[in-house]
Amino acid sequence: MGLEHMFYATPQAWRRCTEISQRHQVGFHTHSNESRFDVEETLRRHGMRPVQALQEFGLLDAPRVLLAHGVWLDDDEIGILARRGAGVAHNPVSNMKLASGAAPVERMRAAGIAVGLGTDGEKENNNLDMFEEMKTASLLAKLSTLDASALDAWSVCRMATIDGARALGLDRDTGSLEAGKQADLIAVRTDTPRMTPLLGGATGNLHHNLVHAVQGGDVDLTMVAGRVVVDGGMLLSGELDDAIRAVNLAVPDLFERRARWLQDHPTVDALKA
């Protein structure tokens, strides 16, 4: 369960979330420290930075805590999250599109925080391609630190798999190919120009190709809990064409309603431009 941003709700609402989470033993998710506005508005409303407020209102006591973004975390907040075992979902494409900033991913990982990869929403990302997210995470870390060795390909592969599972509290069940774990996996074609050349062995380039060259369309097979849902690059449910038609029919009305709403709330779109 969760609320999207600390500044969206009252302290009473956040404490109510804490009560529900603890009563039903469910995890908690929110977007935190996404932008400077996020931090400044939380300070204005609550007199604390976002993670400090989450701790004050008891949300970090939830069985599992996952924060999206963490772009403007300071050292104190990173320490709090590390001590409380909270996970973070890094969304580099969204953070770049919205000019939110570059999250301190390596500082978080060095502190012991489980940092996975996310795509945020379709409006803030558009294509939701996890391979694009992997490449962007690596490049943004290098650019923001002026260090070409920052967030290497192996680290990004971990973020996209086992570290993401750890951030969700699911690493006992998924996130790696091990006996006894759920069969959640993909198979990527190796006969494409993007995977060429492909060198095996400990000094090979498979991980570099996966992070810096592969695209979502290169996925040949997807398996969820042992059930094949994509084969030969095609969705087996056969519902894709129907979904595309439904979206195209629904979108004009949604955009018209959004335009009317923004006319009545002119300051809101500046936060998500």
Mean of pLDDT over the chain: 94
Contact 21, 28 (CB under 8 A): yes
Residue span(s) of the chain under CATH 2.30.40.10 come to 183-237
The residues, any chain, with a CB within 8 Å of residue 213's CB and separated by 6 or more, are 194, 195
Confidence of residue 267 (pLDDT cuts 50, 70, 90): low
Please state the CATH superfamily assignment of the domain spanning residues 183-237 in this structure. Answer: Urease, subunit C, domain 1 (2.30.40.10)
Query: Is 0.85 topped by the overall pTM?
Result: yes
Residue span(s) of the chain under CATH 3.20.20.140 come to 1-177
Q: What is the mean pLDDT of residues 236-242?
A: 87
pLDDT at 271 over 90: no
d(CA 158, CA 160): 5
